[in-house]
Structure 1
């Protein structure tokens, strides 16, 4: 009888026991070719937050569509305070997903990764000295604009988000100009965490080849040398070797000139600061862009993203002390670095070889046009050594100033400096300072808008020493701060992604006062009578340039620009390089 009662009680208990929690992600519950929606993604992270003290989900700003940008922090002791985590000497790995929501593998992979890193004992050990920060979906705007057609080259998933955000901006061109609220929220979040390593997950376009995963690493020559050494000698070998062991071999990003990758070889990708990893490098953060191949099935692409992220956390954990030392050295050396490159060019004389696993590119007649078209023959795979060009040389560099002086009138620039945690001080009184100023001698402007701007390139400068009047409240950015490289690459007009290049200072490019030729003819004649040297300069220009000699308007314009009537502010860049002594600034 006792045995019967015990058996009955156990049977009832078994029936009454609640079912085990189902922690499968929406991707894992699907058919292998579906991706989570934005609502499902945030709800899943909220479940993790509710169930595990190691996981924190919170809002980290807003986006152009009005929805919040979220961050997820995975920390073994539950510490989600950035300053506190850094004081504990933990390495911070920052994972950003869904900047292009039509490329969603990283979104699904990161959800599984966060879950596994708190549920699996072996994985939890990797977080002993590493904290994970995850942006579940960065381009919330595009994620809400779901469709099944806009990724014309891509093999699944069944539905996905759109590349552009609510303002039709490509957010991976917005890290410097920060037109979007998304980018402004990101800058504050990124600078608050100051991550050691940053990952931006993507899906590739382009050629067909055997790899599921390709990788853009921060360009080694423009990353700080000690960090570059750490990345190339420790991180990259661990990542490439680990992916090979997991039977998902990886290649450098397949960027090339020519018909196929093996025609001329691969080229390194120069991610300037408009891009995510280019922005990260300004603050001595190692960056990676993962690019899974668009034509592979969706499930292997998600698995490749998961494997890469897992291997990265493991590698950072295993080499945490050398990474901390390299980063500290880079930050310290930045404070005394004398010259800074502003632009780079590929060195085609420096070449290495990589074994590339591709498919033969062949030609056949197009069924559309009848003309020859390229196709990749998957029945003709190959592995062969091809050239890899990944050395870049500085083409423009500049000496470090003591500080930049920024008139308060340029509020949009000041706002962006603050978002990137630049330390600014303000003049306490009106003052006239003699210092180096730039004049824009020449530049070229694109004929079509690019991400909402008409970009300026090939900028040429003329430097002068001038007495410049500044006003109480104008800003001073000293260069003895962690944001020194960011300041130089945004405030030096010749830098590839400077604020000038993006059009923030276009007001200086237009004259505000002019002259009537019939009036100024007499003024110019009087100037020539009083100044024999000016007369000689005009004569030389007339003799050397027939077109100038034949144009009365051109000669009168030349005279106007030499006269006291010509406004000195025309083409004068308003940010001043300060190389002198102390300035009357506040104590902040």
Structure 2
């Protein structure tokens, strides 16, 4: 790593590698860098954050192309590096500053790769600076806080977009459409010998052409190169039991996470996680060398990576069946070499009971099991299009933000749509990231003639953004807009009846509809409690009559399953 400067050292280097850079220092430094190298570096502002400060993007381009449209026209690859999503995990902040400087100063930018760097994503949390919020971490001397100014964990906000930070990030991502994305982090958990661990986008959820390249080319090269550079990699240590020597499992990142979100757009993502107990300077150095390695691989494989992305987008546009949910195959595993420390137990000085500790005087190298194969548990066939009532504006805004083509009906129409009714679901008893999340959604599908109106939105499912469309709009998907409570108003009934009045109406209904009367009698025979409850019987008649509101528990977005001609604006 170079310690010479174009004009100045980074704040991290000036501190003799013990302090991470503040937000203001980072932006000032990047402004100076862009000023010193105006032909190859540009600092661009994209939107706002909840903290009231703009989100910046440093663009490094050897040929001075700073327009994302022109970058694509020139057939350049885009590597997007995101730092400080958790500002208490700041290695990427400091490593990226040094890397950007050295690439420019040493004339090492690639002809084929445009490098885009978000200096600090969670600006809010970066200002909330202490030395104590991460109790299990070895330095730096002070750092930011995980939550943003609304106390959101921004690495859970990529679908729901409660923060301005997320909206601005999506502006960047969907403007530049990177082929490769890296989101820098620091780990928690077990102790072991490695400084750097790695979470790639889960291979089974990627488009096959991307998954093949990731597993057969990119990951082996990353591992080999980092070993040569003195920082041997290991998959993120997600222990099956208390300690990693019992085996580790892969991580299935849903779209709430950064790399789960990028996978919806056929972008290969990585979360490098340095080990929190290693010295901070080594964590920064390993991050620097890993980012350098990404650039080298993307430069070498630029044509292949571009071709893979184009093919994945084409296949996604034409794809008919999509997986919505996955489960870990616990019967299938690999064995990998693992360098750990002996896990032992001793009496706790706090409780007097047995406590776990890792003995660094007893390092070991041995094979451990890795479970990293996921299987589909829920699939869906795509419709021709989704029809979204114009009232649901946030849905449409997010779709458009993600490069989804959205059309509008030109005139009122009655359309045959598959409508979902929510028949069952679980709702969290405690809030998670500001939401009482739904899960385990069960649906009943009914084909209905639905009155649609001029200005309602039509989203055809023939786009390269199909995965984003389907995994947000299908309510049973784990991170759907429905599960994030965007549609909770449909879960409450708006009208009811007064028993003494509806008694006469219900009697008439039973006389006029012998089928309904028979259905009621059958239910009473099966359910003695119903037979003894007058109100419950009225409720049964009401819910099976035209008086009962058809929109109760009906998901408002319809599925057009026949390719009929629509009048569109």
Q: Which of 214, 224, 227 is residue 210 of structure 2 equivalent to?
A: 227
* 8 Å CA contact 1:425, 1:585 repeated in 2: no
The aligned counterpart of 1:12 is none
| 3-state SS of 1:541 partner | helix
For the 8 Å contact 2:6–2:105, the answer to whether it is kept is: no
The residue that corresponds to 1:251 in the other structure is 234
Q: CA, structure 1 residues 509+317, in 2 after alignment: closer, same or farther (shift >3 Å)?
A: same
Say how many residue pairs are matched.
565
The residue number in structure 2 matching 1:521 is 503
1:253–1:291 contact (8 Å) kept in structure 2: yes
Computing the radius of gyration over CA atoms, which structure comes out larger, 1 or 2? 1
Matched, 1:275 2:268: no
Match of 2:49? 63
SS in 2 for 1:221: helix
* Counterpart for residue 113 of structure 1: 99
SS in structure 2 opposite 1:428?
A: coil
For the pair 1:146 / 2:132, whether they are aligned, the reply is no
2:122 maps to 1:136: no
- Given that 2:6 and 2:101 are in contact with CA atoms closer than 8 Å, whether structure 1 keeps it comes out as no
2:141 — aligned with what?
158
Is the aligned partner of 1:459 residue 2:441?
yes
Contact 1:359 1:377 in 2 (8 A): yes
Q: 1:547, CA displacement in angstroms?
A: 4.2
- 1:585 Cα offset (Å): 3.9
Picking from 158, 180, 183, the partner of 1:175 is 158
Q: Does 1:364 align with 2:350?
A: no
Q: Which residue of 2 aligns with 1:198?
A: 181
Query: Does residue 1:415 correspond to 2:400, yes or no?
Result: no
1:328 is aligned, of 306, 310, 315, to 310
User: TM-score, normalised on structure 2?
Assistant: 0.97
Cα distance between partner residues in 1 of 2:313 and 2:205: 15
8 Å CA contact retained: 1:427, 1:583: no
Equivalent in the alignment of 1:398: 380
Query: How far, CA to CA, are the matches of 1:43 and 1:120 in structure 2?
Result: 21
* 1:455-506 Cα distance to aligned partner (Å, 9 max, x none): 1000000001101011111111111222111000000000110000000011
Of 293-302 and 359-368, deviating more is 359-368
What SS does structure 2 have at the residue aligned with 1:333? helix
1:229-378 matched pairs, under 5 angstroms: 229-263=212-246, 265-378=247-360
Moved more, 169-178 or 315-324: 315-324
For the pair 1:482 / 2:464, whether they are aligned, the reply is yes
Q: Name the Cα RMSD after superposition.
A: 1.4
Query: Residue 178 of structure 2: SS of its match in structure 1?
Result: coil
Query: 1:35, 1:447 → 2: CA distance?
Result: 38
Q: Does 1:435 align with 2:435?
A: no
Which residue of 1 is the match for residue 26 of structure 2?
A: 41
CA 1:553–1:345: 2 relative to 1, 3 Å = farther
Question: Secondary structure of the equivalent of 1:78?
Answer: coil
Deviation at 1:583, TM superposition (A): 4.1
SS in 1 for 2:204: coil
Query: Secondary structure of the equivalent of 2:318?
Result: coil
Q: Which residue of 2 aligns with 1:545?
A: 527
Residue range with higher mean Cα deviation, 140-149 or 520-529: 520-529
C-alpha displacement of 1:522:
3.2
1:293-327 alpha-carbon deviations (Å, 9 max, x no partner): 11111000001111110001111111112111211
Which shifted more, 542-551 or 425-434? 542-551
Change (3 A) 1:431 1:21: closer
Gapped regions of structure 2 (runs ≥ 5): none
Deviations 1:399-436 (A, max 9, x none): 11111111110111111112212111111111111121
For the residue of structure 1 that corresponds to 2:95, the secondary structure is helix
Preserved contact between residue 61 and residue 185 of structure 1 (Cα < 8 Å):
yes
1:247/1:331 Cα in 2 relative to 1: closer, same or farther (>3 Å)?
A: same
Aligned to 2:525, what secondary structure does the other structure show? helix
Distance (Å, rounded) in 2 between the aligned partners of 1:456 and 1:402: 26
Deviation string for 1:374-421 (max 9, x for gaps)? 111111111111111111111111111111111110111111112212
For residues 188 and 391 of structure 2, the distance between their equivalents in structure 1, rounded to whole angstroms, comes to 42
Aligned counterpart in structure 1 of residue 487 of structure 2, from 501, 505, 509: 505
**Cα separation, partners in 2 of 1:405 and 1:21, compared to 1, 3 Å:** closer
